[in-house]
A and B are shown apart, each in its own frame.
Chain A
Amino acid sequence: MTDVKKFDRDVEIAWCPGCGDFSILNALKTALSELDLEPHQVTVVSGIGQAAKMPQYIRTNGFNGLHGRALPPALAIKTVNKDMNVIVNSGDGDSYGEGGNHLLHNIRRNVNIAHFVHDNQIYGLTKGQASPTTDENHKTAIQPEGVIVQKFNPIAFAIANGAGFVARSFSGDIKHLTETMKAAIQYNGYAIVDILQPCVSFNKINTFKWYKDRVYALDHTYDPSNKSEALIKADEWGDDIPIGIIYKRQEQPSFTDLIPQLNDAPLIDRKRHPIDAEKFMNDFK
């Protein structure tokens, strides 16, 4: 176990007091240290939003990019340096709204990264508009009559589209969250964890208490390898909300495993000499 303090960054944190993001930050630090990782061995990638400030607050390599665009650089980082542990931390708006297309295609790619979605069911940074996971009828300044569209179900979506590791956790249960994060990071392939996280400032419906009263942890009797069972679990939302690894497929070769050029050293370690390309000119002679 590495010293968890190594992951502290000496900066002022701009989240509201009481925000669920704090626990997610702590769980991530603990998970990394328990996995025996050093700060330079990890890159945390994010888009834009409150959740996306994560790379600012944890001492690892960080890439805090554009709104909705966390996945493309993350998978690129893993592609060119397969030794790097790449973790995406971003909001539900960022991951499911602006970044929806990338989510879809990253599931297809199965790049070995862990994707932690801080799902507060609202847009925090832009002050409380509906996100793709906001419950129906929830009223906001932009949806004054309440949300009229169906909510997006990230768990069902990910399982149905072939993601290998799909989990839900809750920022109010740090131990559960830490363990889920560790399992996701260790999984060889794309692993998504939807993390229920209260936003104390803008989501007055899905509060800490609201989640606390509803979440229950899946126990050892649940078999996450059964896809049809998992899809049924994925639909459970209301008075009881399951947390835990909802679906886990046996590991398959991940994206980088399937590219023969990446078999030996990471791409960035290849030495390049202009003259090596000279042979390609023969085609044009």
Chain B
Amino acid sequence: MNYNILIGGAAGQGINTLSSLLEKILHRKGYYLFSNMDYMSRVRGGHNFVQIRFGDEPITSHHSALDLVIALDQETLDLHQSRLKDTGVIFIDRSLNESKTSDNKQLKTYDFKSVAKELENNRVEGSVTVGAVLKHFGLDLDYVKESCDSIFKKVSIAQLNYTAIEKGMDLAESLLTLNPMPNNQDKILINGNQALALGALAGGLDYYVAYPMSPSTGIMTYLSSKQSEAGIVVEQAEDEIAAINMAIGGAYAGARSMTGTSGGGFSLMVESLGLSGIMEIPLVVVDVQRPGPATGLPTRTEQSDLSFVLTASHGEISRMILSVKSAEDAFYATVRALNIADKYQIPVIILSDQFLADTSQTIDAFNFDNITINRHISKKEDITEGTYKRYEMTENGISPRIIPGKIEGQVILSDSDEHDEYGNITESADVRIKQMNKRMQRLEMLKSVVEEPEHFGSEQPNLLLMGWGSMYGPLQEAVKMLQDDGYKVASLVFGDLYPLPTKLLEKYHDKANTLVNVEQNFTGQLGKLIRQETGIHCQKSILKYDGRQLSGEEIYNRVIKEVL
């Protein structure tokens, strides 16, 4: 069982409050949720919507067929009516439906606005609607009080909204009955940005510096809201160049540092990415992708920065690139990125995207017990010959790192210029070769650290679908649908992208006769990377670059039409 609700209207009409309240209640009642946002780059007006899919089993993708549309404006009605299932209904306020379409059986006209007016607060209209939705699905008032308390911080406002929900329930009729769900204390409902930020906190982040850019801003907003409680410092820099240089400076001085942005901001950071490379300073940079180039589609989704981040920086540096596959993965991957950056003293780039950033999903609560924070900082005893050498030649290419000021008499010199073991500038060809070898040697070591892509589906697939990052959930759903139709199909979804893990790729490539890369970009960047690193070709590509995420169902349809 799962249902798909769409709430649409203009920016400023309260879609967010309505949806967060409804989501919280459904979540507390134990249902699995998957909710994603589609919004325009404007503060008021325009057309925006949230889709909430919920059911009694985990859900990994959005879906187009709708069971319920809550239309806060005419545009929502016009745009989404056609997606309604035969059994579906539309809720609208009476004020919107005075003359029109009164014979449409799917249309349910309610007095949301006037009930809110009776309660002397127009802003509770959303909560009245929530009440009607609950009633529609045959749900009771359990957990509604708690949910109001957690969404509305002020007691009187929470109480008012609770009353609004109660009143809203009286408006509608119960057309459905849902399976009751067990208590879900061990589940959370979280979006990609929040999960990533929480992962950073669990991973021992000290210092986060960024410049606002959608859709990455949510990370900074979340971290700022927790900064005093967590004892970290979050700073809004004057621009992205400052942000990354501050993160690098903070890391040099001993803080676990991170910055986050979207593609445009990342473009500005590129010279400095190389700086962290040659300085051997650990750094985590998050790129929450949106469609480019330039300002592109600011609030939409795309996976088109992979090729760019692979070689971003002039010259050559060791780097690691990983993408996050889901909210759950974003949490653990961020912890891992912070540890890897410190261990190998390299920049680690995390690729996320707008879809993931703004998608909330019910997942198992994170397990904090198995997380470790490994700083790999050397102590006085580790300085062997009396004088510390920041760029000491070592067997594995990683020099001991100490913190400036912490060991009496020892100083640390880091440069953007080529340098010798002490950090002194040099133009010696010999030293250049040695330091380059030392820095680049880490790429080899990273190959043993990278995690293989996640395999899903048949062990003996004829058809292998490959994707990365946020294609994870939709691909899982597509594979399930194709398997249900009897196809021998599997997917490999990459989290770690560079260095590229190749074991599973080689294993399944031998079995499958058709390889398809499924990506949110124009040029098939994963396909290119795979070809470059392994010589393996994808025969087909399923690509999308309209700024909207592929759903499981959409991948399924396109595989049937374009591949099989």
Chain A residues close to B by CB (< 8 Å): 9, 11, 14, 38-41, 43, 45, 48, 53, 55-56, 59-66, 69, 71-77, 79-81, 83-84, 101-102, 104-105, 259-262, 267-268, 270, 272-278, 280-281, 283-285
In the bound complex, CA of A241 to CA of B408 (Å): 42
Q: In chain B between 410 and 443, which residues have their CB closer than 8 angstroms to a CB of chain A?
A: 410-417, 423-425
Within 8 A of A (CB), among B434-471: none
Answer whether A275 and B252 are a contact pair too, CB < 8 Å, given A38-B408, A48-B416, A62-B412: no
Indicate if the CB atoms of B245 and A65 lie closer than 8 Å: yes
Instruction: Verify A105–B413 contact, CB threshold 8 A.
Output: no
- Nearest residue, chain B, Cβ from A274: B371
B residues contacting A by CB (< 8 A) are 150, 185, 187-190, 194, 198, 201-204, 206-207, 209, 226-233, 235, 237-239, 241-243, 245-250, 252-257, 271-272, 275, 279, 335, 365-366, 368-369, 371-373, 403-417, 423-425
| Inter-chain contacts of B237 with A (CB < 8 A) | 72, 105
Which of B230, B249, B366 is close to A76, meaning CB atoms less than 8 Å apart? B249
Given known contacts A40-B408, A272-B206, A274-B203, A64 and B198 CB-to-CB distance under 8 angstroms = no
9 contacts between A and B (CB under 8 A): A56-B413, A62-B414, A73-B248, A76-B207, A259-B233, A268-B206, A274-B202, A277-B230, A281-B368
Q: Are A55 and B372 in contact (CB under 8 A)?
A: no
Contact of A102 among B226, B229, B242 (CB under 8 A): B242
Interface secondary structure of A, over-half rule? helix
Q: Decide: B425 and A56 in contact? CB cutoff 8 A.
A: yes
Whether the Cβ atoms of A260 and B253 lie closer than 8 Å is no
Residue numbers in A under 8 Å from B249 (CB-CB): 45, 63, 65, 72-77
- CB pair B416 A80 closer than 8 Å: no
* Alpha-carbon gap, A64 to B226, bound state (A): 33
- Contact A65:B275 (CB < 8 A) given known A53-B425, A267-B206: yes
Residues of A with C-beta under 8 A to B235: 79
The smallest C-beta distance from B485 to any residue of chain A, in angstroms, reads: 36
B147 to A: closest C-beta gap in Å: 11
Q: How far, in whole Å, are A117 and B168 apart by their CA atoms in the complex?
A: 67
CA distance A259 to B224 in the complex (A): 12
* B421 CB, nearest partner CB in chain A, Å: 13
Q: Which 10 residue pairs of A and B lie closest in terms of their CB atoms, listed nearest first?
A: A73-B249, A76-B249, A72-B245, A274-B371, A80-B255, A272-B204, A284-B188, A268-B254, A277-B201, A105-B238
Contact call B405/A84, Cβ cutoff below 8 A: yes
Contact A69 B272 (CB under 8 A): yes
* Known A56-B425, A61-B411; contact A278-B368, beta-carbon cutoff 8 A: yes
Residue numbers in B under 8 Å from A281 (CB-CB): 188, 198, 365-366, 368
A8 to B306: give the CA distance in the assembly, Å: 46
Contacts of A66 in B (CB 8 A): 245, 271-272, 275, 416
Q: Which residues of B contact A72 (CB under 8 A)?
A: 237, 241-243, 245-246, 249
| A267 and B207 in contact, given A39-B409, A105-B238 (Cβ under 8 angstroms) | yes
The smallest C-beta distance from A54 to any residue of chain B, in angstroms, reads 11
Q: How far is the CA of A150 from the CA of B231 in the complex (A)?
A: 46
Contact B368–A275 (Cβ < 8 Å): yes
Most buried by A among B207, B227, B254, B372: B254
Tell whether A277 pairs with B255 under 8 Å between CB atoms, given A61-B411, A66-B271, A270-B206: no
**Closest approach, in angstroms, between the C-beta of A255 and any C-beta of chain B?**
9
